[in-house]
Amino acid sequence: MSPVGATYFGVPGYLIFWALFAVAFGLFLQRMSHLFSLLRLGQREGDFPGMGRRARDMLVEVFPQWCNLKSLSRKDLAGMGHALLFWGFALFFISYILFIGLTGFGLNIFEGSVFERAFSSALDVAALLVILAVVWAAIRRYISRPARLETSAEAGIILLLIVALMLLHYSIEGFDLAGSGDSSFWPPLGAALAGVIERSGLADTALTTGYRLSWWLHYAIILGFMVYVPRSKHLHILLSPMNILFRSPRPKGALKPIDLETAESFGVSMIQGFTWKQLLDLYTCAVCGRCQESCPAHLSGKVLNPKEVIQDLKHHLLERGPALLKGASDDENAPALIGGVIAEEAIWDCTTCRACQQACPVAIEHVDKIVDMRRNLAMERGEFPESAQGALKSLSSREHPWRGTTATRTDWLDGLEVRTLADNSNVEVLYWVGCTAALEERNMKVARDTARVLQAAGVKMGVLGAEESCCGDPARRLGDEYLFQTLCQKNIEVLNGYKVRQIVTSCPHCFNTLKNEYPQFGGDFEVIHHSQLIASLISEGRLKLKREATGRATYHDSCYLGRYNDVYRPPREVLAAVSRSRPVELARSGPNSFCCGGGGGHMWMEEDPDKRVSLRRAEQIIDARVDTVATACPYCLSMFEDAFKAKGVAESIRVADLSEIVAAALEAPATKSGSTARPA
């Protein structure tokens, strides 16, 4: 007889079953209702188009556990352990519905069936794998613990309860099979335990008691999970699918614009200033520390820790939220969001490299929150690091961030037969030079060599010259949305005036801004990076190249080209085409590349010399024992040259843009005329 069908001290098992469920489910709903009411404090989020596609992508990411297994690319086996736990629990969840839930309604439709035996056998294997995963997790968390993991009672409680569920599963099977005298060999582990119990000589009443006690303990722990999970850091188990479903519909390289005409305030200075989706992010954090382990600022010894930012915001929401729901105004005793909950230094430490978001298994969007707080500091309070303020003043007055330069935007053109669109707008492609390549002496060579390579391939190109202004990326990443939009709208007007359709740029920051953010303001252009275009020209045979003696060469992935825009293959194809030996990969490359430290406005910010991100990346490059580092970003090139000088290896490791390496390998100008150049 099912344990639910029995009577206990005169009380029907069905009554006990549903009474326990009602209490647990009531506590579950109470907590979830409270959590969702706190989300209503957040601001309205934009639309989420394509819900069918979103749902499909969420299912594909969650159920096969790609969200966790992607950590294997970094040789991190933690994702496999989480995946085993998920798959095992998914199987047990189905069993709870089929063999426990239906039992509560008196429906024992699978009892004694072949299906029950087959499913129970699968559960036997799943339970063993789950136990092994838990043991490995316990060793990893409490013995060999990596720095990113915190030792907490919550984690220990969950691990113990999981093991208890698995052991009780075997206990239920063993006592049930022993009591029924079933001599079957499956489910295998349950049958083996039944054999041990039978040989112990226990009486039938003891077997029945053991079976029922195991069953009710198992049921109680399941209900305990229902009550405990929404009140713990394991809330992500419930809400991470929802977070993945509602992730930002914007290109991942685009920040959310501010409607400057209707906005009553700029940026976020209070927890209720975030959108409801940004608050949902806080609930889904698994405190796994992968963002912390990937953050270049944190690894360089700076204040910023992306995991702590999310956790501190979550705790602030849970503590301050109930009073805000009741209509409470600002409490003088409550800590300020900026400067109290989140240190200002941490907000400015971020290079906006997206390494944290790339590593996060539950699609938390850290960068938007940090930039929103920067916007408040920049636009509401006028508070910046002094060096950043200088760059923004130069942007405002001179339309570029290089405050000390005396160069003009056309100086790099000396000696080149490159015409501006004002002279001749009949071109295939506009070369958007960017502030750094146009105005910073070292990077002027990159601009010249990019032009030489395109001309050698027969590409009809032109530049804006003095009409080109900063794309606005430094202003936007430093929080000055007004200045960004001013520059953006001016540039769009100029580009549309010349009916520009295709743009190539050698700067990933310009590339990302023109490609992903200008469309927010009506600037729709076909934008490609020079590495994409050069790779295409090489594959089409439009460039005649000789192999360069680059020695051991490697390519460094720029954050704004790689993680922001998934451009990984073309730069490597270019380097391979001109190198005599096969290029080597750095330990951290591709999506897991390490930032140069120049993004997020840090190209113009003064930093503690001992905590520069560029020095950490330089150390990784030095460890790879390479002779040449190929870059595809002016920020990376400048940061590495300075870092190698600081490390004393500037004479032994060459840093060069891909365009410089290709220009040096040119044999002769190609004679083949081409149509509009497009990347492969």
Alpha helices (H) along 200-305: 204-228, 236-245, 276-284, 290-294, 296-299
Instruction: Please list the residue range(s) of the chain that carry CATH number 1.10.1060.
Output: 271-383
415-421 long-range CB contacts below 8 Å, 24 or more apart? 416/448, 416/451, 416/452, 417/455, 418/451, 418/455, 418/461, 418/462, 418/463, 419/462, 419/463, 420/462, 420/463, 420/464, 420/465, 420/466, 420/467, 421/462, 421/463, 421/464, 421/465, 421/467, 421/498, 421/500
pLDDT tens digits, residue range 300-333?
999 999 999 999 999 999 999 999 999 877 666 7
pLDDT at 141: 82
CA 252 to CA 271: how far, in whole Å? 23
**Distance of alpha carbon 176 from the chain centroid:** 47
Residue 334: count other Cβ atoms within 10 Å of its Cβ. 17
pLDDT tens digits, residue range 82-113?
788 888 888 988 888 888 877 777 777 777 77
SS3 category, 490: helix
Task: Let me know: does 85 contact 162? Beta carbons within 8 Å.
Answer: yes
Spatial CB neighbours of 665, under 8 Å, sequence gap ≥ 6: 545, 546, 547, 548, 578
pLDDT at 150: 79
Task: Let me know: does 615 contact 550? Beta carbons within 8 Å.
Answer: no
pLDDT at 357: 96
CA 326 to CA 118: how far, in whole Å? 53
Lowest mean pLDDT among 141-150, 173-182, 251-260, 528-537: 141-150
Spatial CB neighbours of 142, under 8 Å, sequence gap ≥ 6: 151, 156
CA 603 to CA 18: how far, in whole Å? 63
Query: Strands, DSSP E only, in 259-389?
Result: none
Lowest mean pLDDT among 13-27, 62-76, 454-468: 62-76
Spatial CB neighbours of 10, under 8 Å, sequence gap ≥ 6: none
295-299 long-range CB contacts below 8 Å, 24 or more apart? 295/355, 295/356, 296/351, 296/353, 296/355, 296/594, 296/595, 296/597, 296/613, 296/616, 296/617, 297/349, 297/350, 297/351, 297/613, 299/616
- Average pLDDT of the chain is 92
Task: Compute the average pLDDT of residues 438-456.
Answer: 97
Q: For residue 228, is pLDDT > 90?
A: yes
Tokens (6 digits) for 678 = 């497009």
**Whole-number Cα distances in Å, 316 to 39, 272, 336, 487, 527:** 13, 11, 10, 36, 41
Task: Compute the average pLDDT of residues 361-384.
Answer: 96
Task: Let me know: does 335 contact 316? Beta carbons within 8 Å.
Answer: yes
Q: What would the DSSP string read from start to end of 256-278?
A: PP--TTT-SS-S-SSGGGSBHHH
Instruction: Please list the residue range(s) of the chain that carry CATH number 1.20.950.
Output: 11-39+85-245
Task: Let me know: does 527 contact 501? Beta carbons within 8 Å.
Answer: no
- pLDDT confidence of 674, banded at 50, 70, 90? very low
Q: For residue 670, is pLDDT > 60?
A: no
pLDDT at 676: 46
pLDDT at 675: 42
Give the domain 271-383 fold: Fumarate Reductase Iron-sulfur Protein; Chain B, domain 2 (1.10.1060)
Q: For residue 678, is pLDDT > 60?
A: no
Range of 190-194, 383-387, 627-631 with top mean pLDDT: 627-631
The angle formed by the CA atoms of residues 247, 252 and 254, to the nearest 5 degrees, is 110
CATH class of residue range 11-39+85-245: mainly alpha
CA 592 to CA 231: how far, in whole Å? 33
Which is it for strands 7-8 and 11-12: parallel, antiparallel or unpaired? antiparallel
pLDDT at 76: 66
For residue 173, the number of C-alpha atoms closer than 13 Å in the C-beta half-sphere is 27
pLDDT tens digits, residue range 591-614?
999 999 999 999 999 999 999 999
**Whole-number Cα distances in Å, 475 to 88, 494, 512, 633:** 48, 19, 14, 18
Q: For residue 38, is pLDDT > 90?
A: yes
pTM of the predicted structure, to 2 decimals? 0.91
Residues paired with 503 in a beta bridge: 430, 527
pLDDT tens digits, residue range 110-138?
777 788 888 889 999 999 999 998 898 88
